[in-house]
Amino acid sequence: MSAEPAPLPARHVLILGGTTEARRLAEALAGDPSCHVTTSLAGRVASPVLPPGDARIGGFGGATGLAAWIVAHDVTRVVDATHPFAERMSFNAAEAQALTGVPLLALRRPGWTPRPGDDWTFADSLDEAAERLPGLGSRAFLTTGRMGLHTFAHLTDTWFLVRSVDPPPDFVRGDPQAAPVPPRLEVLLDRGPFALEGERELIARHRIDVLVTKDSGGTATAPKLTAAREAGIPVLVVRRPPVPEGVARAESVAAALEWLAAAAGA
Ligand code: NAP
């Protein structure tokens, strides 16, 4: 006589991941036997740190693909814990909520705020940042990620130190098919968290005179802001895109757990 397979837990939480908060949320839910957790990753990073629970990697095929996945896998709650700048995925998640009725929470860590001594200039987009950059400095520490690098490609008078986890896409010098990159740049492959001492050293060694960053928030990459303040150099900060309308929001893993617990008790 074969034993019946154990029934799956009634709750299935889909975490749209790619951030520290997504991993922490998966870790916090891992000990809850009443909850099945799946974390979804885009597959951009060559060797991602996988969270506990199930993981799936790769796009869903737009909002309708995501909605179909949610229905097919009996997902009961979705937490969009993607990076604050993963605008397309957050939009798709909001669309999927509208299509399926499965509740969605956007987990967004708070953004950064300037402190006394900071010299910050804000831009609403990478394009605007590229417009403003030449007025602020000529040796830029660019930490906005490898995907938008082409936005700065026309800035021939600026030298760039580009830091990213993986190399910029198709970054092959002399390849006419490759995505354009600024002509004067050095690529530094590294993954946070970053310590203040290392950020100070990079700014001094490369004679950086302007830092470019997204308003990612959090502590893992914040030391560059302190190092810039200490060095007296300006910071060009790209503002976050808004969370889509009609989506519940939480700023911490604890608040997301409360939302999930309230939903479970409803
Ligand atoms: P995006 O522009 O918002 O998304 C583009 C497409 O990638 C989406 O339409 C979706 O494809 C797929 N995708 C994105 N996140 C996914 C996820 N968690 N699971 C499955 N598919 C996903 O996103 P992005 O800015 O390229 O960022 C990609 C990932 O890197 C995100 O998960 C994000 O959390 C992480 N990340 C982004 C940044 C940043 O600055 N943008 C920084 C650090 C980490 P389909 O339409 O086919 O479903």
- 175-232: per-residue pLDDT in tens? 666 778 999 999 999 999 999 999 999 999 999 999 999 999 999 999 999 999 999 9
Atom of ligand 1 nearest to the CA of 22: 34
CATH architecture type of domain 120-238: 3-Layer(aba) Sandwich (3.40)
Omega of the bond prior to 48 within 30 degrees of 0, cis?
no
The whole-angstrom separation of Cα 86 and Cα 47 is: 19
What is the location of CATH 3.40.50.720 in the chain? Answer: 11-110+242-265, 120-238
Given a cut of 80, whether residue 7 has pLDDT beyond it is no
Name which residue sits closest to atom 26 of ligand 1, judged by CA.
86
Smallest Cα–Cα separation from 237: which of 248, 245, 246, 229?
A: 229
Count of other CB atoms within 10 angstroms of residue 216: 22
DSSP 6: P
For residues 220 and 198, the answer to whether their CB atoms sit within 8 Å is no
Does ligand 1 come within 6 angstroms of the Cβ of 155? no
Per-residue pLDDT band for 92 (boundaries 50, 70, 90) equals very high
Mutate to test the pocket of ligand 1, among 82, 164, 237, 238 (most ligand atoms within 8 A of CB): 82
Question: What pTM does this model have?
Answer: 0.89
Task: Output the CATH code of domain 11-110+242-265.
Answer: 3.40.50.720
Smallest Cα–Cα separation from 209: which of 160, 164, 163, 162?
A: 160
Matching residue, tokens 């949610």: 70
Reduced to 3 states, what is the DSSP secondary structure of residue 82?
A: coil
